[in-house]
Amino acid sequence: MNRKNLVLLMMLLVTIVGNAVGQRTYQNPVITGMNPDPSICRAGDDYYLVTSTFEYYPGVPVYHSKDLVNWKHIGHALHTPKNCPLGGAYSSGGNYAPAIRYNDGIFYVTCTNYGGQGSQGAFYVTATNPAGPWSDPVWVGNWNVDPSIMFANDSMYWVSPDNKGSFMVGTFDPVKKEFITPLRLIAAGLGGSSPEGPHMYKINDYYYLMSAEGGTGYEHREVIQRSKSPYGPYEPSPYNPVISNMNKPESPFHAIGHADLLQLPDGSWWIFTLGIRPKGGKYHHLGRETFLAPLRWTDDGWPIGGDNGNMLEEFPTPNLPEHQWEKNPVRDDFNSEKLGLQWNFLRNPYEADWSLTDKPGFLRLNGSKVSLTDRDSPAFVGRRQAHFNMVASTKVSFIPVAENEEAGLVVRGNDENNFSLYLSMHEGERVVTLRKTLKNKEAELSRLAVPKGDVVLRISATDLEYKFWAQPKGKKAMLVGTAATKDISTEKISGFIGAYIGMYASGNGKANTNPADFHWFDYEEASKQN
């Protein structure tokens, strides 16, 4: 019996035994909220995954798993201004499509930084501990997006699109930090728009070149081709796409693609992809998320992902011991000298804009002249919205002096689109205002007077609507207003990112007179009736 048939027999036996005892299953997506372009590697019994972050800092979260289903955020591959330069980056610019690989005790993350001041395009960073610290960037001398690497034949192959619809490969010396074999064209895309996100794998006698195409929308899919040489010629799979829900309009998942492959110790194969969950029609606002599906090989050596090429809501779990991590607490009370890993800034933050030590036990934001709509870094600390149904709230102490001064909560789509719930002054009276900013046009939806003292601001959400609340000390919570989630969906505002919810302060052209002190921040998944 050859190795391929032995692996298939093992997988069949696992399935039979699993069905007999009650097979465990998992639900997609496995990492929710904005986590696009997943890339995966294995180091022993541990699995590490990275995703794109664009203009958010620190960049490229590193997730850890023991079972491929349950994931823990352990660090960021891009965590210093030197390896994550984002000053001036446009929204949906910054860090694109990382890939993670492990070789001889070293982790490598490749990426391309678009638009950040100091960026030189494509680069990689390294670490011996995936939680960090990671190295300064090694810039490779080009701006080709979505690079990846493959270790094979005692060589480090650099795999990259040419930004013109084809793919290139060369060999790179990580010691001398230069190309040994220059990049050269090896294959073209397979007919879909925007060929991108290539990964190369050496499996048995073949080199497989897998890539995404069809754009980032509803035609997105993953395709594959192979060759006996890394330099070609390549033949396409007759079973393409490897995985895609483009012909499944009834599915809750769409835009499946930009994938990476992984083999487990039992011989089984798995595919990680990005995907979206539209609501209320073709509108998705959480961003592109991370999905997982099993992968099988045909008798003639081609991979097919999921259920005959489709991503489903539920699959049998991988043949690994279940390993759940301790859940993050609902409340962050800011009693540490470091922000939790869930928090991000917009671009590289200014040190004077925020502090956890100026007033211990509080997150202090010193509102600068930078506003939420500037291509800059406002005094903003935010996190991914990871659930359709959720509640986020904070208690804030803030005394505005002039009408330009504000501080509060924001649901951010991008630079030009957000919903902000904030404390400010209006005609000599302190008020809570709900403002909708869409395509850089501002509209104040409602305003409530509030007395002196701390105020709890709260945002509750369903898949279709946000509700905004204010609760002055000693008072009941008051509904300030509502907004439609689709107004910050990618289909409405374009770009590559998803909804963030955060705290902010701004003088909108001038610095705030007083700081805004945030006592705590709560985030929890809520019932659908919320």
By annotation, the residues acting in catalysis are 37, 196
Is 252 exposed, middle or buried, given 0-12, 13-18 or 19+ CB atoms closer than 10 A?
Answer: middle
Place of tokens 């935010």: 382
- Phi/psi for 13 (5° steps) reads -65, -40
Sorted by sequence, the CB contacts under 8 Å of residue 234 that are 6+ apart come out as: 186, 187, 209, 225, 226, 227
One-letter identity of residue 163? N
Q: Which of 433, 414, 423, 419 is nearest to 506 (CA)?
A: 423
Could you tell me which residues come within 8 angstroms of residue 504 by beta carbon, excluding any fewer than 6 positions away? 365, 367, 372, 378, 379, 380, 381, 382, 407, 408, 409, 410, 420, 422
Q: Which of 433, 456, 471 is nearest to 518 (CA)?
A: 456
| 218: three-class secondary structure by DSSP | coil
**Cα-flanking dihedrals φ and ψ of residue 342, to 5°?**
-70, -15
CA-closest candidate to residue 417, choices 341, 495, 352: 495
Tell how far CA 307 is from the center of its chain: 25
Query: What are the Cα distances from residue 124, in Å, to 43, 127, 136, 240, 418?
Result: 19, 10, 9, 30, 33
- Side-by-side strand order, sheet with 441-449: 379-384, 500-506, 406-414, 417-426, 429-438, 441-449
Longest dimension (CA), the chain: 84
Fill in the DSSP letter of residue 508. Answer: T
